[in-house]
């Protein structure tokens, strides 16, 4: 690049020096000349210019050209020297690179030769080993044939000496071994069964005790009566109002009955729905405290208390679900569970009972490796039917309907349907829910009921059933939820079974007051007996 750039600059200078020099001042035309004068002197001027321009330029440019030529020659020599140096450098670099590549190729060639030699040696070794293995295989095959022949000879000799064939000798040995082992096996089986039974009983006791311990709640069951204390008879007069308008308005809005004659210092509120009874109790307390008791005021107070109670029930249901670890339930179902806050079963608060039972059920499920989520939901929802407004409905059937309404899993619905043994158990999870419910409800102090009233109800059930001449015996079972009637076969017919069951049902509904439902099972059985001598 340097050589060619120098040559380019040299010839450029030579061209510039050979160009026409600028005109002399005498040759410039004056501005004042006329057109005629200009035309007159134009031709001679050109001839003079041609005649005198070349000699003058040649003389003036000769020294400059010589100097430029000398300078160009010097630069050319420098360029040639520089080009030779560059050529020598390039040549030496190429030679070094070629030698390096040649050395690398020689090294790789030696490495490949070494590897080829190594592979050849290994191939020779493998071929040698393969030949040795073939020889050994032939030797092993020959030994096997020899052993087989020897074994056959020995078996024939043994059969000749024992007088038994191979199969007969095998059968004799197996019979003797079976007789010897059978006694030991029977003894071992009996020992294992006894040990397993004892361990199962101990483990069952341990599981139940541990489950009850984990299911203990922070407070005992509540015993409440919906009564309100009043300070004087004036308060009763305000509650009644003029012509009884206040008490009528209160009873109409709340759906409860007020008993002002129960005591001089108390007012009793009676209603089968605990939620309505609680709303009435809170509203009446506020009205008595405010002193302004009138229909309009009663209506506003009851409406306000209803809204507060709905929110309280929703919060109570949400808190119950969170305490047992159940989430993402529908809000309507959570609100339904919140009604447990004001629901009592034989004096046991339903929130307390549900929380206690769920803890016990979860512990049992963990101990027995059951489906914890199924047991948890089953325990939480097992008594959801008790929140129904229908006092005569069976809470089990109502609970099943509610669970199906909110698309609960089939296993959870079965837990609800079977927690009172109304249906056969379909799995261990359903049985765990039943056990947890029994532990929570049957433990001492959990529930309370007037013993005299309880016994009287059972006796009345049995008396109604035995009042018919066809009945031989009658038994009230399951705390009065079922009555079993045994007919005298000599005094009855098969058709009397259905007829008598409906008669007893109608009479019980007419004369008795009972929680839930009562199932009447009428049984007629005829037995024949004979003794052979």
Q: How far is CA 197 from the centre of its chain?
A: 37
Question: What distance in Å separates the CA atoms of residue 457 and residue 467, rounded to the nearest whole number?
Answer: 15
Residue 302 pLDDT > 80: yes
Lowest mean pLDDT among 84-93, 234-243, 436-445, 492-501: 436-445
How much is the pLDDT for 297? 86
Least Cα distance to 354 among 367, 340, 366, 368 occurs for 340
Q: Are 427 and 355 in contact (CB under 8 A)?
A: no
Residue whose pair of structure tokens reads 């006694």 in the numeric block: 183
Lowest mean pLDDT among 47-51, 159-163, 250-254, 293-297: 47-51
CATH of the domain spanning 227-442, picked from 1.10.150, 1.10.3470, 1.10.40, 1.10.3210: 1.10.3210
Going by C-beta distance under 8 Å and a sequence separation of 6 or more, which residues neighbour residue 159?
Answer: 165, 166
Residue 437 pLDDT > 50: yes
Least Cα distance to 419 among 446, 385, 450, 391 occurs for 385
The band of 361, judged by pLDDT with boundaries at 50, 70 and 90, is confident
∠ CA(454), CA(460), CA(462), 5° rounding? 110
- The secondary element (H helix, E strand) that includes residue 258 is strand 257-259
Helix or strand or coil: residue 38?
helix
Q: Judging by DSSP bridges, how do beta strands 471-477 and 348-349 pair with one another?
A: unpaired
How much is the pLDDT for 393? 64
C-beta neighbour count of 317 within 10 angstroms:
24
How much is the pLDDT for 234? 76
User: In terms of C-beta density within 10 A (0-12 exposed, 13-18 middle, 19 or more buried), how is residue 432 classed?
Assistant: buried
How much is the pLDDT for 370? 86
Question: What distance in Å separates the CA atoms of residue 328 and residue 319, rounded to the nearest whole number?
Answer: 13
Residue 437 token pair: 């419910």
**pTM of the full structure:** 0.46
Least Cα distance to 297 among 258, 260, 250 occurs for 250
Q: Are 384 and 336 in contact (CB under 8 A)?
A: yes
Question: What distance in Å separates the CA atoms of residue 265 and residue 19, rounded to the nearest whole number?
Answer: 141
CATH 3.30.70.1350 matches 453-524: yes
How much is the pLDDT for 239? 80
Mean pLDDT, range 413-427, rounded to an integer: 84
- The secondary element (H helix, E strand) that includes residue 442 is helix 428-442
How much is the pLDDT for 336? 85
Question: What distance in Å separates the CA atoms of residue 480 and residue 501, rounded to the nearest whole number?
Answer: 16
Going by C-beta distance under 8 Å and a sequence separation of 6 or more, which residues neighbour residue 1?
Answer: none
Lowest mean pLDDT among 18-22, 487-491, 522-526: 18-22
Residue 500 pLDDT > 80: yes
How much is the pLDDT for 41? 42
Q: Judging by DSSP bridges, how do beta strands 519-524 and 482-487 pair with one another?
A: parallel
Percentage with pLDDT > 90 across the chain: 5
- The secondary element (H helix, E strand) that includes residue 122 is helix 35-162
Percentage with pLDDT > 70 across the chain: 78
Q: Are 368 and 432 in contact (CB under 8 A)?
A: yes
Q: What is the mean pLDDT of the chain?
A: 77
Q: Are 453 and 479 in contact (CB under 8 A)?
A: no
- Could you report the per-residue pLDDT of 465-496, keeping only the tens digit for each? 888 888 888 888 776 778 888 888 888 888 78
For the four alpha carbons of 117, 123, 125 and 127, in that order, the dihedral sign comes to negative
Q: Are 430 and 415 in contact (CB under 8 A)?
A: yes
Question: What distance in Å separates the CA atoms of residue 453 and residue 198, rounded to the nearest whole number?
Answer: 42
Mean pLDDT, range 489-505, rounded to an integer: 84
Residue whose pair of structure tokens reads 């100097």 in the numeric block: 67
Segment 108-111 long-range contacts (CB within 8 Å, at least 24 positions apart):
none
Residue 452 pLDDT > 50: yes
Residue 320 pLDDT > 70: yes
How much is the pLDDT for 260? 77
Residue whose pair of structure tokens reads 């003079």 in the numeric block: 48
The band of 206, judged by pLDDT with boundaries at 50, 70 and 90, is low
The band of 35, judged by pLDDT with boundaries at 50, 70 and 90, is very low
The band of 112, judged by pLDDT with boundaries at 50, 70 and 90, is very high
């Amino acid at each position: 690049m340097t050589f060619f750039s120098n040559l380019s600059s040299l010839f450029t200078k030579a061209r510039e020096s050979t160009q026409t020099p600028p005109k002399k001042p005498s040759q410039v035309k004056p501005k004042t000349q006329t057109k005629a004068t200009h035309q007159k002197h134009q031709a001679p001027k050109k001839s003079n210019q041609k005649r005198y321009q070349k000699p003058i330029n040649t003389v003036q440019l000769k020294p400059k050209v010589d100097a430029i030529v000398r300078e160009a020659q010097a630069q050319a020599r420098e360029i040639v020297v520089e080009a030779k140096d560059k050529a020598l450098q390039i040549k030496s670099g190429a030679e070094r690179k070629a030698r390096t590549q040649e050395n690398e190729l020689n090294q790789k060639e030696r490495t490949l030769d070494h590897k080829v030699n190594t592979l050849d040696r290994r191939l020779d070794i493998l071929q040698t080993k393969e030949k040795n293995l073939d020889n050994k295989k032939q030797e092993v095959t020959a030994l096997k044939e020899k052993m087989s022949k020897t074994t056959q000879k020995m078996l024939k000799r043994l059969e000749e000496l024992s007088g038994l064939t191979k199969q007969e000798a095998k059968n004799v040995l197996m019979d003797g071994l079976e007789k010897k082992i059978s006694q030991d096996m029977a003894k071992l089986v009996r020992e294992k069964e006894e040990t397993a039974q004892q361990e199962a009983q101990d483990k069952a006791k341990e599981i139940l005790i541990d489950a009850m311990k984990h299911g203990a709640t922070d407070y005992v069951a509540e015993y409440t009566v919906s009564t309100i204390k009043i300070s004087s008879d004036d308060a009763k007069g305000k509650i009644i109002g003029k012509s009884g308008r206040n008490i009528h308005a209160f009873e109409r809005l709340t759906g409860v009955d007020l008993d002002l004659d129960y005591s001089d210092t108390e007012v009793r509120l009676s209603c089968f729905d605990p939620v309505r009874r609680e709303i009435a109790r809170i509203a009446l307390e506020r009205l008595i405290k405010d002193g302004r008791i009138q229909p309009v005021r009663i209506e506003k107070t009851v409406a306000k208390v209803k809204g507060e109670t709905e929110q309280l029930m929703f919060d109570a249901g949400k808190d119950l679900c969170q305490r047992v670890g159940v989430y993402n339930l529908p809000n309507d179902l959570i609100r339904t569970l919140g009604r447990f806050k004001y629901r009592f079963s034989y004096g046991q608060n339903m929130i307390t009972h549900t929380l206690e039972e769920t803890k016990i059920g979860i512990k049992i499920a963990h101990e027995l490796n059951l489906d914890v989520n199924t047991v948890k939901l089953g325990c939480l929802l097992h008594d959801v039917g008790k929140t129904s407004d229908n006092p005569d409905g069976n809470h089990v059937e109502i609970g099943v309907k509610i669970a199906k309404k909110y698309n609960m899993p089939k296993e959870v619905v079965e837990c609800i349907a079977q927690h009172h043994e109304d249906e056969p158990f379909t799995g261990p999870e359903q049985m765990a829910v039943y056990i947890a419910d029994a532990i929570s409800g049957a433990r001492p102090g959990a529930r309370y009921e007037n013993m005299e009233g309880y016994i009287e109800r059972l006796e009345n059930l049995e008396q109604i059933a035995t009042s018919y001449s066809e009945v031989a015996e009658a038994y009230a079972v399951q705390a009065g939820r079922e009555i079993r009637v045994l007919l005298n076969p000599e005094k009855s017919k098969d058709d009397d079974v259905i007829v008598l069951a409906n008669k007893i049902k109608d009479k019980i509904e007419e004369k008795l007051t009972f929680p839930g439902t009562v199932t009447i099972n009428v049984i007629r059985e005829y037995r024949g007996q004979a003794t052979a001598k």
